[in-house]
Amino acid sequence: MSRMAPISICAIATALLAVGSSYVRASDDPAIDRGLAYLRQHTTDQQAGETALIALAFLKGDVPLSDPAVVACFTKIRQRFTSVSYKPERSNGHEVYEAAVIAMALANLDAESRRSDLEQVASFLVSRQKANGSWDYPNRANGDTSISQYAVLGLWEAENGGARVPASVWDRAAQWFMSTQGSTGAWRYHSDELNQPETISMTAAGVGSLLICKRQLAQYRTAKTQQSTLLIPLNPEGANTRYEVKTPFNRIDQSIGGGMNWLAASFTTSPSPIVGPSIYYGLYGLERIGALADKTMLGRIDWYERGRSFIHSSQTAHGAWSSAHGEPMNTVWAILFLSRSTAKTLRRIEVKRLGAGTLLGGRGLPTDLSSMTVAGGRVVSRPMNGAVEGMLAVLEDPRAQFAESALSGLVTRYETEGPAVLRPHKERFRKLLLSPDQGLRRAAAWALGRTGELEAVPPLIEALTDSDEEVVNTARIGLQLLSRKIDGLGPPSTSTPAQREEAANRWKAWYDTIRPLELNGQRDEKSGPPATSTVPALPAAGSREPR
- Give the domain CATH number at 522: 1.25.10.10
pLDDT of residue 525: 40
Q: How confident is the model at residue 301 (pLDDT cuts 50, 70, 90)?
A: very high
Do 205 and 247 belong to one domain?
yes
Do 334 and 432 belong to one domain?
no
Q: Give residues with Cβ within 8 angstroms of 44, minimum separation 6.
A: 72, 76
In a domain, 533, yes or no: no
Higher pLDDT, 66 or 228: 66
In a domain, 14, yes or no: no
In a domain, 539, yes or no: no
Do 68 and 111 belong to one domain?
yes
Residue 165: pLDDT over 70: yes
pLDDT of residue 383: 54
Of 293, 316, 339, the one marking the end of a domain is: 339
pLDDT of residue 1: 35
In a domain, 359, yes or no: yes
Tens digits of residue pLDDT in 324-338: 999 999 999 999 999
Do 184 and 323 belong to one domain?
yes
Do 296 and 413 belong to one domain?
no
pTM over 0.85: no
Q: In the chain, what is the greatest distance between 2 CA atoms, to the nearest angstrom?
A: 80
Do 366 and 314 belong to one domain?
no
User: For residues 59 and 113, what is the distance between their CA atoms, to the nearest angstrom?
Assistant: 19
In a domain, 131, yes or no: yes
In a domain, 133, yes or no: yes
| Element containing residue 375 per DSSP (H, E) | strand 372-375
User: Which of 117-131, 365-379, 405-419, 502-516 is predicted most confidently?
Assistant: 117-131
In a domain, 304, yes or no: yes
What is the total count of domains within the chain?
A: 2
Residue 115: pLDDT over 90: no
Query: Are the C-beta atoms of residues 165 and 159 closer than 8 Å to each other?
Result: yes
Q: Give residues with Cβ within 8 angstroms of 500, minimum separation 6.
A: 464, 465, 466, 472, 491
Do 127 and 247 belong to one domain?
yes
The residue-averaged pLDDT of 531-535 equals: 47
Do 317 and 350 belong to one domain?
no
Higher pLDDT, 377 or 481: 481
Residue 8: pLDDT over 70: no
Positive or negative, the CA dihedral 227, 232, 237, 240 is: positive
Q: How confident is the model at residue 381 (pLDDT cuts 50, 70, 90)?
A: very low
| DSSP state at residue 93 | T
The residue-averaged pLDDT of 71-79 equals: 91
Q: Quick one: how far is CA 202 from the chain centroid?
A: 19
Residue 453: pLDDT over 70: yes
Tens digits of residue pLDDT in 196-244: 999 999 999 999 999 999 999 988 875 555 444 444 444 433 444 578 8
Q: Worst-scoring range by mean pLDDT, 36-50, 195-209, 343-357?
A: 343-357
Q: How confident is the model at residue 110 (pLDDT cuts 50, 70, 90)?
A: low
Do 470 and 322 belong to one domain?
no
DSSP string, 187-246: --S-TT-TTSPP-HHHHHHHHHHHHHHHHHHHHHHHHHHH--TTS----TT---TT----
The residue-averaged pLDDT of 463-478 equals: 89
Structural domain that includes position 67: 26-228+241-339
In a domain, 267, yes or no: yes
The CATH number linked to 97 is 1.50.10.20
Residue 83: pLDDT over 50: yes
Q: How confident is the model at residue 397 (pLDDT cuts 50, 70, 90)?
A: low
Residue length of the chain:
547
Residue 358: pLDDT over 60: no
Do 404 and 301 belong to one domain?
no
Do 428 and 470 belong to one domain?
yes
Query: Are the C-beta atoms of residues 439 and 360 closer than 8 Å to each other?
Result: yes
pLDDT of residue 329: 95
Q: Smallest Cα–Cα separation from 109: which of 334, 375, 360? A: 375
pLDDT of residue 382: 52
Query: Half-sphere exposure of 537 toward its Cβ, with a 13 Å CA cutoff?
Result: 2
Do 202 and 293 belong to one domain?
yes
